[in-house]
Amino acid sequence: MAASVFAAQFLDSIRMAFADKLLRIDLSARTVESEQIPESWLRRFVGGKGLSARYLYDELAPGTDPLASENALLFMCGPLTGKTPGESRFSVVTKSPLTGTFLDSYIGGTFPESLAGALSNHLGMLVTGSASAPVTIRIADGDATIESAGELWGKTVPKTCSHFDSPTSCIGPAGERLVRYATIASDGGDHHAARGGSGAVMGSKNLKAVVAEKSESGEETDESEDDDRYRSTDIGKWQAASETVETIDFANEVGVLPTKGWQESSFEGADELGIEAVRKSAVGREHPEEDVSGGFRIESEEGETVPRGATSISLGAGLGIDDFDAVAVLGALCDILGLDLISAGNTVAWTMRAAEEGLLERDIEFGDDESARALLEEIVHRSSPLGDTLANGIDAATNRYGGEELIPTVKGMDLPTYDPRRSPSMALAYATSDRGACHRRARPVLEEVFATEEWSDDRRAEAVIAEQNLRSFLWCLVVDDFAGEALWKSGVESEDGGNEWLREIGFEHSRDELLRIGERVWTMTRLFNVREGFSRAEDSLPVALQQPLRGDERDGERLVFESFARLLSAYYEKRDWDEQGRPTDSLLSRLGLDDVVDQQTPTGDD
């Protein structure tokens, strides 16, 4: 199919699925305007991550301070928001105050579907400027109003959400105090746009909350064959049984569990934090009326919480704490304060290691949950010189105190979940992630650790690229991560090679054509980062991963810089980027991006 014909048909299909306008909100001027999204942008970028990336590239001048009023904050839906199995989601996109890179995060729960309905004929909203005093944005019937929120400033996430009758996304004290890994939360803290500090951007704009008024005329989403199809997949069954809390069991079993500040790859107390421990403590599930019932609800002294896999990994094994009740308290504290618990856990772990190494004077050690809890409060309130520094991230702490080799970071973001020293492909996924170290862009570790033969560099690069492209496309649609991947895989494995769940809403296109959208979006975010000055140096292996593991049969295992350099070059070659990681002109032409690149963005030589 000719590119122009495909583009026209694709635009028709996505127009059937969602509106094609955007709300532009300037908090400095207190204005709200509705504007048409350019047709060419919809054709090439669809919605969600892709369309937001195109707007962010167009809106921001290179070098814009992420916490300045000029930074843009986008809340964007996609054509599948509220239309597929699993939880509805929407995307939050901005320039990260933690990394300085492009940043996209996704929130589930009740808010996304309400937001899509409240936006009416708009796909999302773009917020710039900064209010002179705390405000709330209320979305209803395709319009927005800016209201005072002075009485809410200083309140926790649950108290802020409970103030409104309609679904709400908000920041907690961490976002107000511009902690660079503060979250945007919804459903009282059950769901977060967690990594990279979008909550600090919201705080810098004096924006406390966004409320999506329920639409009286909103249509109920009927169950479709897709719901049954998803429930029958291995991923659907796994999510119904355990959700993500089983991640720690898997990571510990295969030896990729980051333990005691990334010093070890397994944890003796993992069984006390895994799926059985969670089930024992649970008082219910998020959605008990549904087959895929969501996370487990836990009551703690900090309030009710829904721990995810990262909770037990980052706040449990990562801190050497094997008491699940204590870990749940730390997780609940992060939820109510609006703090990314992955970065929170890694930051506390860095402090524990730095104290051991004598880099700072602090009475804190692994296994000490009370000291960890006190330090988290100190960070959120910036109540000491150490807490104030740690609020700006691990790289800020190492710049002041030393200890770069203690906790691994990529582009300023600390690593989550899986230790890549047994999986070079996972190290590549972390290093090349567009928002800094992230296990959601690609997770080749799930295959590589079970491979009977060692993967080649080409195999590793291909695995990472394939997952990055697929997820970029799915995040343009904005589908539930698990449902989207499961349904895509079921389509690939079907006899006719199709994806029925996409055809049902008019996506009559080949997988290659759809994956090309994902490749285009991944390249778009790379262009943004390259324009910000990122290159091969920022895709490098963290120094901390050169430190050997200890304490088990893999004692001494580490990654080697020279081998990783060859792997990174293989990735660049397959991406059609030059040796400095810049997309080439031929790639931009093939993806239809040659008319997008401005003169301030360096491109690669063919």
Would 71 be classed as within a structural domain? Answer: yes
Would 565 be classed as within a structural domain? Answer: yes
Q: Are residues 328 and 193 in the same domain?
A: no
Would 240 be classed as within a structural domain? Answer: no
Helix (H) or strand (E) run with residue 206 in it: none
Domain boundary among 341, 360, 395: 395
Q: How many CB atoms lie within 10 A of CB 451?
A: 12
Q: Are residues 276 and 357 in the same domain?
A: yes
Packed helices 394-401 and 341-356: angle between N→C axes, nearest 10 degrees: 20
Q: How far apart are CA 28 and CA 89, in angstroms?
A: 28
CB-based burial label for 600 (10 Å; 0-12, 13-18, 19+): exposed
Q: Are residues 302 and 433 in the same domain?
A: no
Query: What percent of the chain has a predicted confidence (pLDDT) above 70?
Result: 90
Q: How many separate domains does the chain show?
A: 3
**Is 518:484 a contact under the CB 8 Å cutoff?**
no
Domain boundary among 159, 188, 212: 212
Within 8 A by CB and 6+ apart from 255, the residues are 265, 266, 422, 449, 552, 554
Question: What is the phi/psi pair of residue 97, to 5°?
Answer: -75, -15
Q: What is the pLDDT of residue 495?
A: 52
Range of the domain at 56: 3-212
| Beta bridge partners of residue 432, listed in sequence order | none
Q: How many CB atoms lie within 10 A of CB 174?
A: 32
CATH of the domain at 570: 1.10.599.10
Q: Are residues 106 and 176 in the same domain?
A: yes
Q: What's the Cα-to-Cα distance from 430 to each of 130, 437, 476, 580, rounded to whole Å?
A: 33, 4, 21, 17
Q: How far apart are CA 61 and CA 72, in angstroms?
A: 11
Q: How far apart are CA 260 and CA 334, in angstroms?
A: 19
Predicted confidence (pLDDT) per residue in 344-399, tens digit: 999 999 999 999 999 999 999 999 999 999 999 999 999 999 999 999 999 999 99
CATH of the domain at 325: 1.10.569.10
* HSE-CB of 457 using CA atoms within 13 angstroms: 13
Amino acid 208 reads K
- Report helix, strand or coil for 489: helix
Average pLDDT over residues 564-579: 97
More confident site: 5 or 380: 380
Q: Are residues 446 and 533 in the same domain?
A: yes
Strand 207-212 with 135-140, pairing: parallel
Q: Are residues 363 and 438 in the same domain?
A: no
Q: Are residues 528 and 451 in the same domain?
A: yes
| Burial readout 310-338 (b: 16 or more C-beta within 10 A, e: otherwise) | bbbbbbbbbbbbbebebbbbbbbbbbbbb
Q: How far apart are CA 577 and CA 556, in angstroms?
A: 34
Q: How far apart are CA 333 and CA 325, in angstroms?
A: 12
> pTM of the full predicted structure?
0.93
Q: How far apart are CA 392 and CA 341, in angstroms?
A: 14
Predicted confidence (pLDDT) per residue in 385-417, tens digit: 999 999 999 999 999 999 999 999 999 999 998
Would 292 be classed as within a structural domain? Answer: yes
Q: How far apart are CA 397 and CA 253, in angstroms?
A: 32
Q: How far apart are CA 529 and CA 62, in angstroms?
A: 9
Q: What is the pLDDT of residue 16?
A: 41
Packed helices 511-531 and 48-59: angle between N→C axes, nearest 10 degrees: 30
Predicted confidence (pLDDT) per residue in 533-544, tens digit: 999 999 998 999
CATH of the domain at 168: 3.60.9.10
Q: Are residues 255 and 195 in the same domain?
A: no
**Is 196:188 a contact under the CB 8 Å cutoff?**
no
Question: What is the phi/psi pair of residue 147, to 5°?
Answer: -125, 155
Has residue 526 got a pLDDT over 50? yes
For 537-576, give the DSSP string: GGGSPPGGGGSPP-SSTTTT----HHHHHHHHHHHHHHHT
For 306-349, give the DSSP string: ---HHHHHHTTGGGT---HHHHHHHHHHHHHHTB-HHHHHHHHH
Predicted confidence (pLDDT) per residue in 234-285, tens digit: 777 777 777 888 899 999 999 999 999 999 999 999 999 999 999 999 888 8
Confidence of residue 131 (pLDDT cuts 50, 70, 90): very high
Would 519 be classed as within a structural domain? Answer: yes
Predicted confidence (pLDDT) per residue in 454-505, tens digit: 999 999 999 999 999 999 999 998 887 777 777 777 666 555 445 666 666 5
Q: How far apart are CA 404 and CA 512, in angstroms?
A: 42
Q: Which of 42, 55, 38, 35 is nearest to 16 (CA)?
A: 42
Q: Are residues 259 and 308 in the same domain?
A: yes
| Beta bridge partners of residue 90, listed in sequence order | 107
Would 603 be classed as within a structural domain? Answer: no
Q: How far apart are CA 512 and CA 497, in angstroms?
A: 12
Would 252 be classed as within a structural domain? Answer: yes
The region of weakest confidence among 26-30, 309-313, 334-338 is 309-313
Stated length of the chain = 606
Q: How far apart are CA 574 and CA 142, in angstroms?
A: 43
| Burial readout 475-500 (b: 16 or more C-beta within 10 A, e: otherwise) | bbbbbbbbbbbbbbebbeeeeeeebe
Tell me the two tokens of residue 600. 């301030």
Q: Which of 320, 302, 308 is nearest to 371 (CA)?
A: 320
| Burial readout 405-423 (b: 16 or more C-beta within 10 A, e: otherwise) | ebbbbbbbbbbbbbbbbbb
CA gyration radius, the chain: 23
Q: How many CB atoms lie within 10 A of CB 192?
A: 30
Tell me the two tokens of residue 41. 């942008």
Would 360 be classed as within a structural domain? Answer: yes
Predicted confidence (pLDDT) per residue in 313-323, tens digit: 999 999 999 99
Helix (H) or strand (E) run with residue 298 in it: strand 296-300
Q: Are residues 334 and 275 in the same domain?
A: yes
Q: Are residues 136 and 35 in the same domain?
A: yes
Q: What is the pLDDT of residue 516?
A: 94
Q: What is the pLDDT of residue 79?
A: 83
Average pLDDT over residues 138-144: 97
Amino acid 59 reads E
Q: How far apart are CA 98 and CA 394, in angstroms?
A: 10
Q: How far apart are CA 62 and CA 272, in angstroms?
A: 48
**Is 373:330 a contact under the CB 8 Å cutoff?**
yes
Domain boundary among 161, 196, 212: 212
Q: Are residues 320 and 450 in the same domain?
A: no
**Is 278:340 a contact under the CB 8 Å cutoff?**
no
